[in-house]
Amino acid sequence: MKGIRKTLAIITGKILIRLSKILGNQGTDFPGKIARRIYPEILTDLSENITDEIVIITGTNGKTTTSNLVASILKEKNISFVHNTAGANLITGITTAFIKDIDILGYREFEYAVLETDEANVPLLLNEITPGLILITNFFRDQSDRFGELDKIITLIKDAVDDKPIDLVLNSDDPLATSFEREPSLSTWFFGFDNTIYDTKESVDIREGRHCIICGQELIYHRFHYEQLGKYKCPKCKNKNAERNFTVHDFKLAPNIELKVNGTQFKTNFQGFYNAYNILAAVSLTKLLGIEIDYIVSAINKYKPQAGRMESFEINEKDVVLVLVKNSAGFNQALFSITQDYDSKTIFFALNDNSADGTDVSWIWDANVEGIFENNNAPTHIVCTGKRSGDIAVRFKYSGCSENKITIEADLSNAVNLAINSSLKKVYIICTYTALFEVRDILIKMQEQSTGKSKIDEKQYQREEV
């Protein structure tokens, strides 16, 4: 009976995946949801087909890019693996990922599973599968209406991994991650940065990590990379950056990222400091899996950012960059990247407040928007759209942008056209989650009409509620 229900769940899931794609969706969540109703143990059963290692990648920012980089490295070496692609990071989406690749009887083996998951989903996932490695990218305040305070999320993950034979891969530069090092049952590995030319002695961006997570004393920062990431020490309990196993040095944004990890040179297609952390995280994880460095370098150097993670388009001989933001830390990093660009530019911002975005958009006031108007290369045209277009327009106005440079357009397609058809050389398209894929589809069509270049094969980066 158990075997029949398992097979029925797999067949039903596969049919629903197929039907969903025929209807123009990606079939990443609903098939897993129905399959789990038919056979609730399906994820546990199918995960037992992983022969080498299950790895989980979580954290506030960067988990999608990091997991996609890890997947590309495994693919470079022709390793078989299960992977839930961008955004399908709840337990139903992860279940669908296994169903999609498994055979009908559920016995096909894979060497690895690379599972990106929402921070709050970690305990649920660990109830059903047994990973060998968990990588946590960072902790930033994010969608407080969904996740609550940061200490709640950190405690949630800490309790979930307690007394389990799991290796944790952590960000040494994040003071909120250091408490894991003191858990006697856990094995920990750390990655981080040496000093960089972009560091500052003070930070106006820091919102978290001001105080020691161990004793509560205010931390002393010697330098900031960005937000609370940097070199810190607690004067009371001596808590400080954990000793690094993987270190970035010789880091340049020129504008694409060039860096060395433990002496190995990478020349990438990525932009932005935060993507340098994603690269470092992916290198650290795959090195721990035993992947040879030549495969890692080759995969990362040729990887092109996708799904709105500083994704590039060419439209009407204009460079267009699509950027997903969902919290003040990500917004600050997008703005920092824009300040590094000296071309004349338009900023487009689609701000929504749907449940997947987080209904509280007050984080736009926590970001240092003022910073981009303090330079000679400030944007000279701002297009605001989305359900909360008025809020983001007001935010730009109070950051120092003249009203006559701000346009509010309710229709998304019209707003994209306004931004693209301006006389300025560069366009940065910034979106919150639920606007991202609709805007991306518009940009894909515009690029196809403009250049004949197609991105249709990349539509596997689906729209999935997080």
Binding residues for Zn(2+): 212, 215, 234, 237
Among 251, 284, 302, where does a domain finish? Answer: 302
User: What's the mean pLDDT in 214-220?
Assistant: 92
Q: Does residue 331 sit in the same domain as residue 194?
A: no
Q: Does residue 269 sit in the same domain as residue 289?
A: yes
Domain count of the chain?
Answer: 2
Q: Does residue 291 sit in the same domain as residue 329?
A: no
Full residue range of the structural domain in which residue 222 is found = 1-302
User: How many angstroms separate the CA atoms of 240 and 266, rounded?
Assistant: 28
Token pair for residue 41?
């143990």
Q: Which residue has the tokens 């750390």?
A: 190
**Residues contacting residue 248 through CB under 8 Å, at least 6 positions apart:** 191, 192, 193, 194, 259, 260, 261, 276, 280
Token pair for residue 91?
């337990």
Q: Does residue 295 sit in the same domain as residue 314?
A: no
Q: Does residue 298 sit in the same domain as residue 378?
A: no
Q: Does residue 267 sit in the same domain as residue 408?
A: no
Q: Which residues are catalytic?
A: 360
Phi, psi of 212 (to 5 degrees): -65, 130
The answer on pLDDT for 44 being more than 90 is yes
The answer on pLDDT for 52 being more than 60 is yes
Is 452 strand, coil or helix? coil
Confidence category of residue 10, pLDDT binned at 50, 70, 90: very high
For position 288, which CATH number holds? 3.40.1190.10
Among 255, 276, 302, where does a domain finish? Answer: 302
Q: Does residue 289 sit in the same domain as residue 326?
A: no
**Residue at 458 is within a domain:** no
Q: Does residue 51 sit in the same domain as residue 161?
A: yes
Using N-to-C axis directions, what is the helix angle for 293-302 and 63-76, rounded to 10°? 120
User: How many angstroms separate the CA atoms of 30 and 16, rounded?
Assistant: 8
Q: Does residue 266 sit in the same domain as residue 318?
A: no
What would the pLDDT profile of 361-386 be if each residue is shown by its tens digit? 999 998 989 988 887 788 889 999 99
Is 323 strand, coil or helix? strand
**Residue at 280 is within a domain:** yes
Q: Which residue has the tokens 């890692």?
A: 296
**Residue at 437 is within a domain:** yes
pTM equals 0.86
User: How many angstroms separate the CA atoms of 42 and 321, rounded?
Assistant: 40
Distance from CA of residue 403 to its chain's centroid?
A: 33
**Residue at 460 is within a domain:** no
Per the DSSP assignment, residues forming a β-bridge with 249 are 260
**Residue at 456 is within a domain:** no
Q: Does residue 279 sit in the same domain as residue 377?
A: no
**Residue at 190 is within a domain:** yes
Q: Does residue 250 sit in the same domain as residue 390?
A: no
226: burial class by Cβ within 10 Å (0-12, 13-18, 19+)? buried
**Residue at 397 is within a domain:** yes
Token pair for residue 311?
């994704």
* HSE (side-chain half, CA atoms, 13 Å) at 410: 0
Lowest mean pLDDT, pick from 98-112, 140-154, 286-300, 433-447? 140-154
Q: Does residue 34 sit in the same domain as residue 150?
A: yes
Q: 390-427 burial, b if ≥16 CB within 10 A, otherwise e?
A: ebbbebbeebebeeebbbebeebeebbebbbebeeebb
- CA of 208: how far to CAs of 190, 324, 328, 333, in Å? 20, 21, 11, 15
What would the pLDDT profile of 129-180 be if each residue is shown by its tens digit? 999 999 999 998 876 666 667 888 899 999 999 888 899 999 999 999 988 8
Among 271, 302, 333, where does a domain finish? Answer: 302
Q: Which amino acid is at 277?
A: Y
Binding residues: 212, 215, 234, 237
For position 410, which CATH number holds? 3.90.190.20
Cβ neighbours, 10 Å, residue 137: 28
**Residue at 459 is within a domain:** no
Q: Which residue has the tokens 């340049």?
A: 252
